[in-house]
Amino acid sequence: MPFYVTTPIYYVNAEPHLGHAYSTIAADVLARHRRQRGEDVFFLTGTDEHGEPVAQAAERQGLTPQQLVDQNAPRFREMGERIGASNDFFIRTTDPEHVARVQEVVQRVHDNGHVYEGTYEGWYCPRCADFKTESELGEGNTCAIHEIRLEREREQNWFFRLSAFEDELKRLYAERPDFVAPSFRRNEALSFIEGGLQDVSLSRAKLSWGVPLPWQREQVVYVWFDALLNYYTALSYAREEEDLTDRFWPASWHVIGKDILKFHCVYWPAFLLAAGLEPPERLYVHGYLLMGEKKMSKSLGNVLDPNEVVERFGSDALRFYCFREVSFGQDGNVSAAGFETRYETELANDWGNLASRTLAMIERYRGGVVPDGEVDPVLGEGEDALAGIDGVVRELLDRAELSQALEAIWARVRRLNRYVEETKPWELAKDAAQSDRLDRVLYNLAEGVRTLALVLHPYIPETSGRLLDALSEGNRELDAFGARAGGAHVERIPPLFPKLEAR
Ligand code: MSP
């Protein structure tokens, strides 16, 4: 089963911040989970390198745009590595292969009769790279997102006949009710379409930093079409020896933030249809991470640097925090203090302690060998039953419900902690007559921790990997989920999430 998941590609004229890391981690969790299911996964991320702000920033710094993007793109690549992203390729829209493929597709849209020459007159926000309609304008002709005064643009350029795709898009949304998730975002996209679509510029005449339009090389392809096409072009050159397009297109999931909904949920499927290509299967639109009620963004200066967070808490803690603190799909506040609390209470106490205690008790009472035992019926009952958690996680992650799946896992972490308190293995160990009972409890703890570490692996791969190794579980696939007999050797390891002062 092919599974192709993407992140938005990031603008290189800003420093990577936690908002960018968020989209990448979400897509990474989905990619890792599907690999665990033995699926044929391709995971793409990268950088969006053309457009006006890049050209302007380069000029200010006395660099060519190419020099600027070459200098900045590695920061995004490194951010991915630091947060444990397992992407299969990193695309840059300045890659010559991307440029050539964009020209091919744009030419096809032209040849299919969906392009015409016209005059654009209206408001343009260079930071959004968006031509704003009157209804999208803020007060005093400002950009409602960036709060900057907009220039009125007038230029001769080429248009994409978006309006001609209104009915086809409505049909697509009707036939595929889960095309966009969560459903309130689907409704938002659909009402945009139902409000009536206007044609959009396909090229810019005033810019030179971009992909030259094949039939009029003085103009460049509008940066959003250039950027969106990355999802398609990457497959053609990510592997030297193989064109992956047939294997992975259409994409299974595009993970995006809510600010880029219109481009992805409206322009993108229409543009693909115009090129005779299949639209993606699904899009997941997440909310914003806010700091002090405002969207975290470089221009507002309220950013958490993911590198600093990783340095302090570790990459797994960052990955975990993103989906615990803020319900995936909604907006929510993050803060350094919030990190600390979650880290201490959930990672260090709930999970880290449970793992350490389990390993320590098996070593102390059973010489480091997991005893034979049977599943304790109390752990198989109720809403937080351990058995079947893999099915629950699969079902939720099929819908990209990252916070709900993590909450389902955490309910089982709490259940196992209660099990320790209820059974008190340290007391059973004092009484030889309770030896069988102790075997059973230790067996259930080892199995519980092993299976939870497996379903947690996509979220917190580094520490779960260490824990699974300590439990002699070499497998990372969900096939390994089924019950394992006793007999495995376990070893104690340093705390997975050391107390902050001890780090
Ligand atoms: N280059 C375009 C995307 C092109 S995709 C074909 C872009 N880049 S971006 O760098 O500005 O943003 C990329 C993603 O990061 C967006 O999905 C955006 O929502 C996300 N985030 C940026 N700041 C964010 C938060 N504060 N919170 C959550 N995600 C936000 O848009």
Question: Model confidence over 194-251: pLDDT tens digits?
Answer: 999 999 999 999 889 999 999 999 999 999 999 999 999 999 999 999 999 999 999 9
Tell me the C-alpha distance between 26 and 146, whole Å: 25
Q: With a cut of 80, say whether residue 54 has pLDDT above it.
A: yes
Q: What is the mean pLDDT of the chain?
A: 94
Of 66-80, 286-300, 367-381, 471-485, the range with the lowest mean pLDDT is: 286-300
Q: What angle do CA 479, 483, 485 make, to 5 degrees?
A: 120
Contacts of 242-247 with CB under 8 Å at 24 or more apart are 244/42, 247/2, 247/40, 247/42
DSSP bridge pairs for 181 = 284
pLDDT at res. 315: 95
- The predicted-structure confidence for 253-264, as pLDDT tens digits, reads as follows 999 999 999 999
Catalytic residue list contains 295 = yes
C-beta 19 within 6 A of ligand 1: yes
Whose C-alpha lies nearest to ligand 1, atom 22? 19
Residue 148, Cβ neighbours under 10 Å: how many? Answer: 14
Rg (CA), the chain: 26
The pLDDT, as a whole number, for residue 134 is 81
DSSP labels for 428-487? HTT-GGGHHHHHHHHHHHHHHHHHHHHHHTTTSHHHHHHHHHHTT----SGGGGS---S-
Q: What is the pLDDT of residue 465?
A: 98
Q: Which residue's alpha carbon is nearest to atom 6 within ligand 1?
A: 228
> What band does 479 get if pLDDT is binned at 50, 70 and 90?
confident
Q: Is the pLDDT of residue 301 over 70?
A: no
Instruction: State the closest ligand 1 atom to the C-alpha of 230, by its place in the atom list counted from 1.
Output: 6
Percent pLDDT > 90 in the chain is: 80
Nearby residues of 259 by Cβ (< 8 Å), 6 or more positions away = 128, 145, 288
The answer, yes or no, to whether residue 120 has pLDDT greater than 90, is no
Q: Residue 300 pLDDT > 60, yes or no?
A: no
Residue 413 or 141, more confident: 413
Look at residue 131 in the predicted model and tell me its pLDDT. Answer: 83
Q: What is the DSSP string of 226-249?
A: HHHTHHHHHHHHSBTTB--HHHHP
Catalytic one of 33, 110, 128, 265: 128
Instruction: Tell me what pLDDT residue 303 has.
Output: 64
| Better-scored residue on pLDDT, 279 or 16 | 279
Confidence check: pLDDT of 353 > 80: yes
Q: Is 261 in the pocket of ligand 1 (CB under 6 A)?
A: no
pLDDT at residue 122 in the model: 86
Which numbered atom of ligand 1 lies nearest the CA of 228? 6
Nearest CA to ligand 1 atom 23: 19
**pTM metric for this prediction:** 0.95
Separation between Cα atoms, residue 173 and residue 91, nearest integer Å: 29
Can you say whether the dihedral through the CA atoms of 347, 349, 352, 358 is positive or negative?
A: negative
Cα dihedral sign, 28-30-32-38 = negative
pLDDT tens per residue, range 31-53: 999 999 999 999 999 999 999 89
What span, in angstroms and rounded, lies between the C-alpha atoms of 122 and 137? 11
Q: Which of 213-227, 289-303, 482-496 has the lowest mean pLDDT?
A: 289-303
Query: Of the listed 33, 110, 114, 143, which one is catalytic?
Result: 143
Q: Which element (helix H / strand E) includes 411?
A: helix 402-423
Q: Which of these, 363, 361, 343, lies nearest to 419 by C-alpha position?
A: 361
Ligand 1 center to 300 CA (angstroms): 15
Tokens 């339009």 belong to 213
Q: Whose CA is nearest to atom 19 of ligand 1?
A: 257
Mean pLDDT value across residues 73-93: 97
410 CA → ligand 1 middle, Å: 29
Q: How confident is the model at residue 153 (pLDDT cuts 50, 70, 90)?
A: confident
Determine if ligand 1 sits within 6 Å of the CB of residue 279: no
> Phi/psi at 181 (nearest 5 deg)?
-125, 155
Question: pLDDT per residue over 200-212, tens digit each?
Answer: 999 999 889 999 9
